[in-house]
Structure 1
Amino acid sequence: MATSCHYQSKKGYEIQYKLSGSQKGRLLVLLHGLGGSNDTFVPLIPHLPLSSYKIVAVDFLGFGNSQLQDSSIPLSVAGYVSDLDDLITSLQSTGSDTSPTNKPEAVVIVGHSLGSIVALHYAASRPDNVAGLGLIGVGRSASHIPAVKDRMYALAGTVRTQGIDAAARLAMQTNFPPGSDTPDADREEVRRAVATSDPEGYAQVCEAMVNPRHKDPNYSEIMCPAVFVSGEGDTISPPARATELAPLLGGRSKIFVVKGGHQPIISDVDGTRNALGELFWAIDA
């Protein structure tokens, strides 16, 4: 049973998360994508190594139960990385996940889409504190691609003028392969998740993804094992994105292509679980 918790970042923001697994285990942090929340990982968590890891499923500021507290300060990828650093530092200082040298054990991070971007930035800035990365529907900066910039700024504008339901209806289509026989229940799950997002938070993150200040990190600094999980029909982050990124990392990496589109946890939880199993094996090897 997951326990609802919260912490206050150094900037004074209250960030919500859910805690499960072993209180004495290594930290495993789960980071959702745009329009998601910690609920993104509900179907996956029972398949994770609960007896070995303290599992922390985070709600980014502006999503889930982490309410946007000051909309005049724009959300940013760098801000999310800073919030993640605050959370991990806090949990490591109070937890029992220490190595024989009494140093906190390096964490494992699994991120979906936006969450994978934040995970990669954190791992590049703190390579000594990350033991492994699970990157589902991996993303990277698109600030240099005019067509993507136009699309994301337009989506932000649509949300501000028409409401979050417009983005939710769009996500029902774009998060799954075109022309696929995706079950209506799967599409509805995505619609419902996006519809609960804070509209301004959603719009700001759309803009943050293509903000000129959002640059790719130095991927070569990332030395831990990494597993990429891509949906075979993902049009938002196609498998080619993982193929492009994997060689840039400094450590070992594997790519797994599973069923579905941009929501592998919904479309193919077994395939996603098996892929992440390879990550946990590599960490323990």
Structure 2
Amino acid sequence: MVRAKAGVPGDNVGTYLISHACNSGFVVFQVNDPLGPSTTFTRSDVFVPVFYECDLQGAPQLGSTELIETNDSRVQTAIWVDNVLWITVVVREFASGEAALLYFQFVANGLDPVFVLFFGVISGEDISAETSVFCPSLDVNSNGIAAFGFTASSPTIFAGAYATVQNLDFMIEPSEAVKVGEGPYFVTGADRRNFWGFKSGMSVDPTDDNCFWAFNQYARDDTCFEVGSSILASDENVSSPHLEPFQPDMQSLEHERAVDGTEHFAEGDVRRLQTLVGCWGTAWAHICAPP
């Protein structure tokens, strides 16, 4: 997202493409006039003064020995506000081996090569010991205050939705629970991936620039979907113990695999549907930066 205080891009900025190359840093392409006849790409190779690993480990959770997949280290959120490009990635910390949210502020004025202004880590250790942080989101208001949303999980807490802000002194405020986890999470899908997903969002409140809306996932305390099986008899008779009746849509069925472990069905196929032992819900909260 590219946004200035007035809600429009600056004169020298079109948009950005960002690639994370782990400890080699980032490759940032500034794209000017992206929809016009004179599109240009300007590359900056950005070295970052911090070391970490990108082979993420699963997150431990209370109530289960199953680890929750923490996804990967690709750029998950990027936003430009008034010559500063903000980026979030998830990395594995050297010392602890746990997943953590690493964020960067790059100076990106549209004229000079992009370079690092500031970076920080949100480890979740103020929530509980040995916490893994993943599934991040980010937005920044017109004053440069940033709000972060994320999932946190550890051996002593269920996976829950949390948020925090970085104030104008570049300090991270204590993490706040959007919704604490309620139970263990475990997908019984055929590929055995305990996939958590990417459902995370943060947005400046359009009516109050000092506040934000946070959206993220948490593990629920019930089985969510009845444990069992169902039959897909044909493309006109789709039934499932965990879905409301809907018009058959192959893309929808395929999408559900990432959530509940079901398989992708071709028309007329007859197979068993595998379901969940645990599930997640979506929570949201209105959070405001300290005055």
Instruction: Give 1 or 2: higher helix fraction.
Output: 1
Q: Which has the higher contact order (CA 8 A, sep 6+)?
A: 1
TM more than 0.5: no
TM-score, length basis structure 1 = 0.29
TM-score, length basis structure 2 = 0.29
Instruction: Report which of the two structures shows the higher radius of gyration computed on alpha carbons.
Output: 2
Instruction: Give 1 or 2: higher strand fraction.
Output: 2
